[in-house]
Amino acid sequence: MDYAICPKLENAMGVLGQRWTGLIIYQLMAGPKRFCHLESSMGVSGRVLSERLKTLEKEGIVKREVYPETPVRIEYMLTDKGRAMETFINELQKWAEAWSEVPQKV
Amino acid sequence: MDYAICPKLENAMGVLGQRWTGLIIYQLMAGPKRFCHLESSMGVSGRVLSERLKTLEKEGIVKREVYPETPVRIEYMLTDKGRAMETFINELQKWAEAWSEVPQKV
């Protein structure tokens, strides 16, 4: 196997392993969304959503587009890198559906 | 999309996002391994390796087999659930190779 790929894989999985990150990507696969739309449809706090979006922007998975309208419109969307995740997320989903248990919340 | 799958996906990605976990699974895809073999081939501390193997056992991804020989032989191997990860790990690897940067160690 190729050991050099491991830090990249671990980094990718570390990002995706954070709560809400996968769901944000899912939502954006359907098309660009505004902050308030994501916030209300996911039931996540604005503070956490903002943090996750920043991480995803830093990773080059999500981009933030500002439309200079009145009032200004800001949308979040997947980059090419983000859209390229669809295949493995679908495979991961199949695996999780077949094998995973929902963790108990303690 | 199916919201019910999200906790399962997040749980799976949370486990895989821990350092070394992916590499352990990779190593075991090639076949059962003894603790000392994993330890030396990965260059990971015994303490961390032991923690990760326990997490993977708890998740039902890895199992620990004790052979009552003299001296006793203990091997770690993938379960069916663990082997079923191969497809998405391959897809994730393709994505990471194409798109990810190795994170800077600060």
pLDDT digits (tens, 9 = 90+) for A64-103: 999 999 989 999 999 999 999 888 888 888 888 888 665 5
Give the chain B residue whose CA is nearest to the CA of A102: B8
3-state class of A15 per DSSP?
helix
- Chain A positions in Cβ-Cβ contact with residue B25 (cut-off 8 Å): none
- Extended beta strands in chain B, E state: 33-34, 62-67, 73-78
Residue A10 touches partner B, C-beta closer than 8 Å: yes
To the nearest whole percent, how much of chain B has pLDDT over 70? 85
Assign domain A15-96 to a CATH class. Answer: mainly alpha
Question: What ipTM goes with this model?
Answer: 0.74
Burial environment of residue A10 by CB neighbours within 10 A (0 to 12, 13 to 18, 19 or more): buried
pLDDT of res. A5: 57
C-alpha to C-alpha distance for A106 and B23, rounded to whole angstroms: 29
Residue B41 touches partner A, C-beta closer than 8 Å: no
Select from A3, A11, A91 the Cβ nearest to the Cβ of B103: A11
Select from B7, B100, B103 the Cβ nearest to the Cβ of A102: B7
Q: Give the gap in angstroms from C-alpha A9 to the nearest C-alpha of chain B.
A: 6
Give yes or no for residue B2 having a pLDDT over 70.
Answer: no
Residue A9 touches partner B, C-beta closer than 8 Å: yes
Q: Where are the domains of chain A?
A: 15-96
pTM: 0.70
